[in-house]
Amino acid sequence: MVVASKDKKLASAVQQLLASSNLRISTSSDVTGVEIAGALKNVLAIAAGIVEGMHLGNNCMAALVAQGCSEIRWLATKMGAKPTTLSGLSGSGDIMLTCFVNLSRNRNVGLRLGSGEKLGEILDSMNQVAEGVSTAGAVIALAQKYNVKLPVLTAVARIIDNELTPKRAVMELMNLPQVEEV
């Protein structure tokens, strides 16, 4: 786990309070990076679930998650986050867990969307909250505010808003201009 605070003494105190032989706690002063990665990983996990639900395969999954990680980094650094935070435990570590583990609520929402279920039916059947559903709406506003292109995360927001089907989202993403990797 990561405890983030601009107050290093407070972060250290919380770290010491929560740490145990079964729980390792790291600290970070990059509150923005930890918060943005922690929120947007849930939107990315919905996308990962959609890929799984549509049976698009491991290569597609790897490409999607790598692209999503880049999108989270692009936005977070524009918002003042440190790139190292996004490649650490609260960034890449949390993203891997949320995107690839069957217990992930957000991944399961995506899996069911990718399998053709409607969002309302999925949410009605759940007794837990999939945070990525409500967080997705903020993606478009943040992308516009910080002038960052976030095609994967934006596609999830549009699927959640019922503007786009998962199949159409895949077609749109695959038809984006070919670019140099950055």
Find how far residue 25's CA is from the centre of its chain.
Answer: 21
Query: According to the model, what pLDDT value does residue 181 have?
Result: 79
Mean pLDDT, the chain, as a whole number? 95
> If you average pLDDT over residues 58-62, what whole number do you get?
96
Active site residue 82: no
**pLDDT at residue 46, as a whole number:** 98
State pLDDT tens for residues 17-34.
Answer: 999 999 999 999 999 999
Domain presence at residue 18: no
**10 domain residue, yes or no:** no
pLDDT reported for residue 179: 86
* Amino acid 17: pLDDT: 96
Mean pLDDT value across residues 113-121? 97
Q: Which residues of 22-44 are buried (b: 16+ CB within 10 A; e: fewer)?
A: eeebebbebbbbbbbbbbbbbbb
> Quick check: is 127 in a domain?
yes
CATH number at residue 82: 1.10.1040.10
Q: What is the pLDDT of residue 97?
A: 94
Residue of 41, 118, 149, 167 with catalytic role: 41
What does the alpha-carbon distance between residue 174 and residue 158 come to, in Å, rounded to a whole number? Answer: 16
Residue 131 near residue 107 (C-beta atoms within 8 A): no
Model confidence at 182: pLDDT above 90: no
Mean pLDDT of 112-133: 96
Domain annotation covers residue 20:
no
Instruction: Enter the DSSP assignment of 27.
Output: E
Number of domains in the chain: 1
Range of the domain at 113: 31-175
Q: Is residue 126 part of a domain?
A: yes
Residue 4 lies in a domain: no
DSSP 2: E
**135-144 tens-digit pLDDT:** 999 999 999 9
Domain contains 123: yes
What confidence score (pLDDT) does residue 180 get? 86
Task: Kindly state the average pLDDT of the residues 44-48.
Answer: 98
Lowest model confidence (mean pLDDT) among 83-92, 103-112, 118-127, 137-146: 83-92
